[in-house]
């Protein structure tokens, strides 16, 4: 679920993978891997994503609806 939520939140803000990566101090390939599910973000990155998008970790992980 996290891969879907990251992509949805990114697209809702009108961000490219490159722009989101720059905002979070990551590279574009990492964001792409998160969105395809080939890599899962670590706890620190989950926290950054939650703070950046203004959502809870439960929402990002698919445990609750927004």
pLDDT tens for each residue of 21-53: 999 999 999 999 999 999 999 999 999 999 999
Q: Based on C-alpha coordinates, what's the Rg of the chain? A: 10
pTM of the shown model? 0.89
Question: Is the pLDDT reported for residue 1 higher than 70?
Answer: yes
């Amino acid at each position: 679920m996290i891969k879907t939520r990251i992509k949805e939140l990114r697209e809702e803000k009108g961000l490219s993978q490159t722009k989101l990566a720059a905002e979070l101090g990551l590279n574009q390939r990492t964001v792409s891997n998160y969105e395809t599910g080939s890599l899962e973000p670590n706890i620190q990155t989950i926290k950054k994503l939650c703070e950046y998008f203004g959502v809870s970790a439960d929402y990002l992980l698919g445990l609750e609806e927004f």
